[in-house]
Amino acid sequence: MVWRRGVLFDLSAEIMEVKKRFTALFIACEPAVRSFVQGVVRSVGATEEIMQETAVVLWEKYADATDPDTFRKLLFATAKYKILSWQRDQSRERLLFTDDAISMLADEAMKTQEAAAERQRLLDDAVSGLTVEERQLLWQSFTSSENVKTQALRQGKTPMALYKKLQKIRKKVLDTLEEKREKDS
Amino acid sequence: MNRELIKKYHAGTITREELGELQRLLTESEAFRREFLLYSQVEVTLAGQVLFHNDMDEAIQTPPTEGMVKEPKPVKIPVYLQKIVFAE
């Protein structure tokens, strides 16, 4: 508590308000930034690290970036520099993007930030409606470089059975997305 | 074919030539940049939910000890943000 112009102010309430505004701004941009970072670095661990370092920088510079537009620009620029710094630490042998490609992706992610946030909400709902097994299957088919036949053999299924199962899961996700979108509009 | 390049890049199986092609598409086409970001977003969502549920399974299979959270719930605010912003 401090006295300001003869009035007793509760500083902790003021600080909490600042923290709330910062968090709201960061969370609104998070899906777009995270997709951008994960898209380039391809590692959940590295993405977490970059997101954390980016958040620290943003928090330190927040006093100069309280306006949503300035905040967004600073956030994507910081994430981009953190990615470039991460890339410099990687082995020269690794296949990495050029600075130009990263900059263009950062600009695109910033431009589509609102749509990404909305999409994230719908995606979270749709995927959380799946069973654990369905999520695992979808995750494997989405990320694995193996074809359906190889995946099916590894799982002890026939390729047709796995194919049909995946089609059913995809339809379930799509139906949920459509339903949510219709409800919202 | 173009989507295959994104998938290969994410799976870490892309060749140098394919990476060159992927970068060419990314720098030349706005639609392709959007597709690339969308792919990442779906991957992030699936990864988050699959990993979260793997943790849940592990938590369910491991008998809770004193002081352990018995029913973990999804956290809306990312943990690192909580640490930074809400740390005293």
Q: Does A138 touch chain B (CB under 8 A)?
A: yes
- What's the confidence (pLDDT) of residue B51? 57
Q: What pLDDT, on a 0 to 100 scale, did the predictor assign at position A24? A: 92
- What would the pLDDT profile of A84-106 be if each residue is shown by its tens digit? 999 988 866 678 899 999 999 99
Is the pLDDT higher at A121 or at A111? Answer: A111
Do B14 and A27 make contact, defined as CB atoms within 8 angstroms? no
Least-confidence region, from A6-15, A59-68, A122-131: A6-15
pLDDT for res A3: 60
With residue A8 as reference, give the H or E element that holds it.
Answer: strand A7-9
Q: What do you get for the CA distance between the two ends of chain B, in Å? A: 51
- The burial class, CB within 10 Å (0-12 / 13-18 / 19+), for A112 is buried
Q: Do A98 and B37 touch (CB under 8 A)?
A: no
- Mean pLDDT calculated for residue range A4-20: 73
Q: What would the mean pLDDT of A72-81 be, rounded to a whole number?
A: 97
Q: Does B47 touch chain A (CB under 8 A)?
A: yes
CB of A52 within 8 Å of a chain B CB? The answer is yes
Q: What is the pLDDT along chain B (88 residues), one digit of tens a residue?
A: 677 888 888 888 899 999 999 999 999 999 999 999 988 888 888 877 665 555 544 544 444 444 444 444 444 566 676 666 666 4
pTM for this prediction? 0.75
Average pLDDT over residues A50-59: 94
Of A35, A120, A144, the CB nearest to B11: A144
Q: How many Cβ pairs closer than 8 A exist between chain A and B?
A: 115
Bigger pLDDT: A154 vs A10: A154
Query: Residue A7: what pLDDT?
Result: 61
Mean model confidence pLDDT for chain A: 86
Distance from CA of A89 to the nearest CA of B (A): 18
How many residues are recorded in chain B? 88
Grade residue A39 by pLDDT with cuts at 50, 70 and 90.
Answer: very high
The pLDDT value given to residue A8: 60
**C-alpha–C-alpha distance, residues A54 and A26, integer Å:** 10
Task: Average the pLDDT over each of A159-163, A177-181, B23-27, B67-71 and give the range with the smallest value.
Answer: B67-71
Position A4 pLDDT exceeds 90: no
Contact A44, A38 (CB under 8 A): yes
Q: What is the DSSP string of chain B?
A: -HHHHHHHHHHT---HHHHHHHHHHHHH-HHHHHHHHHHHHHHHHHHHHHHHHHHHHHHHHSPPPTT--SS----SS-HHHHHHHS--
Rounded to 5 degrees, φ, ψ at A8 are -85, 115
A139 has a pLDDT exceeding 90: no
Instruction: Please give the C-alpha separations between residue A82 and each of A53, A89, A137, in angstroms, as whole numbers.
Output: 8, 11, 33
